Structure 1
Amino acid sequence: MKAFLLLEDGTVFEGNSFGKEGKVVGEVVFNTGMTGYQEVLTDPSYCGQIVCMTYPLIGNYGVNLDDIESVKPQVKGFIVRELCKTPSNWRSIESLNEYLKRHGIIGLEGIDTRALTIILRNRGTMKGTIVTCETLEEIEEKIAEVKAYTVSNPVLQVTTPEIKHYSGEGYKIALLDYGLKKNIVRSLQKRNCEVYVFPCTATAEEVLTVEPDGIMLSNGPGDPKDCRFQIDNIKKLIGKKPIFGICLGHQLTALANGADTEKLKYGHRGCNHPVKDIEKDMTYITSQNHGYTIIKESLDPEIMKISHINMNDGTIEGLKYKNAPMFTVQFHPEASPGPGDTAYLFDEFIKMIDEAGSSNK
């Protein structure tokens, strides 16, 4: 069926629908990954967003049971240049079209995704709506609806409803779920860690009752400043145990230490973002998915220092703290999708726990 994308500035793209038919409103963003569309679809950091893939052919290896990062697709809509209708892969159990239809996600194909990406890069991220219909009518009313769209604290929509436990014989890690990807848990389990996953609403006291050796703060969606409870909670955890934060967890930790954040023009989303580790004097290719960044001028040099920078735009990609055993990064060392070049950060977290344990003996 014919379908349209209408941006809040009035720009219209005409294509064809796949997945579910109907209407959806969300923030339109783009992802530059060549593969990994299944991980993108199931990444909770995309809650409330319509994702456009810049790579022209999507769906060619279908959908499998292994490459999912949460229990269901988290995007509000999905846009591709060309949808592969006959996937070929030994793990594939269904096509992308079938998968989205089963989960009630609206897709749009056949539009000029390069033109859409250029618009978002030049004008900044915008809200938009995908509508399946033969002719797009009442445009002004639809634009007003799009402009009025907001997502209020999406972290509450994607967090686990209850504590989850994953066994292990190594260090015990308390993982606060702001919208975590499953590969964070897998990465800790590879290092033989015992993992307790807590809802984002868990208090510091509840987290500490399991007597963790370390605390992880996960990725997640939305504006970090909306997470006032989580910021106050992190303040109570600082200094209690070694802390490692990823993506939203990175931003929340900075806010808890007096820094400030701002929205990027169009964000960083993809598997090919170069980031420099300052101490190692090495640049790594990273997986990223975020729309906000920490403001350099807001950093207190007595409390924190920059550990990683983005080589494309110079934004902060990592911080190390001087007031407690704690470090955070903006990118995704657990990847999925993307390269695992920065998985060494999980080893550094384990080392930090080792050193904290030694100093307490």
Structure 2
Amino acid sequence: MTQSTAAAPNPWRDLTDPRRAVTVDDLEAGLKEPVFENLRIPEELGPVTITIDDHKIKRFAFTQDDYGAWYLRGESPFDGARIGHPALLGNDLVQLFTTRYRASKTVGFHTEEQIWFDSPVKLGERVTLSGQYVEAYERRGQGYVVMEAQATAEDGRSIVRHRGVEILRTVPGLIAGRGSSKTTERSVTGEVADCARRIEKAGSDVAVGDVLTPLTKVFTAEQTAVFSRIGEYVRNTHNDLQIAKKGKLPTLIVQGQQEYGAAAELMARVFGAAWFTKGWLKMKFINTLQVFDPVSFSGVVTAVGTLADGVRVVELEVWARRASDAKLTAVGWASCRLPA
């Protein structure tokens, strides 16, 4: 069904090996139906070992339209190594549940994503992905499940740690827009003062109230389909128009994790190398984003502190705003520790 550290001496770059389609009729045979009633808490997901090869990095660069030198030319501050984008492994971790459940039968809704960035992943590394369903609950007629997962390098170091919340099966078009930027955490409005200073990077003078220069993206149908595993023959509301229509959606929608990747890109631009080792980003997805609808990512500095060892800690509110109606599609919170 999937690859593990014991079964794959030469791991493929994805959760599953699409080359099996030559000899296997049903690539998801033996997996469970992705419905709330089939959940087991706790339930192990994976492990799967994958290779961070040139194609995986370039493919992610295409889906995110992010062709930075660190990722494609090996000019990173980490000994000059060529590294992967900060959220390169995010969707792999989100999709770990498909090692137990039929991916193409899933019509879910990703509601929350949280990643701790511990170290950059380097070209050529073998990485093991493992996770667990740790909690399940029902709210407003929907069944939610919480996953905790991690990506670990071959040398044992942590690359990223993930915690996500998903509605396992729903009708996306009927619940779209039910989310709110007001949560038990501080509210994120995406509103900033006209006189606020705009910054590209968090320099030594970074201050509360500074606003991040927006990063604008237009996720095309091709980019969204590739991001959402069309290369593994997985069908969903992000890469199959018929499935999107059945989900009461007018067209394909961008995966929340793809938006998260753009927000992580913005944070990497602002904080540089520190983001890959001391960054944290949590986002809630509150409205759908259709393919081809321009969306901008920004944030505002809410706190700047200094620890006893001189390390500075910058905290922010972040958000994504779609162009079609100026509504927020995602809101969140971030922090990064900067060297003294």
TM-score (norm 2): 0.23
Larger radius of gyration: 1
Which has the higher relative contact order, 1 or 2, with Cα contacts under 8 A spaced 6 or more apart? 2
TM-score by length of 1: 0.22
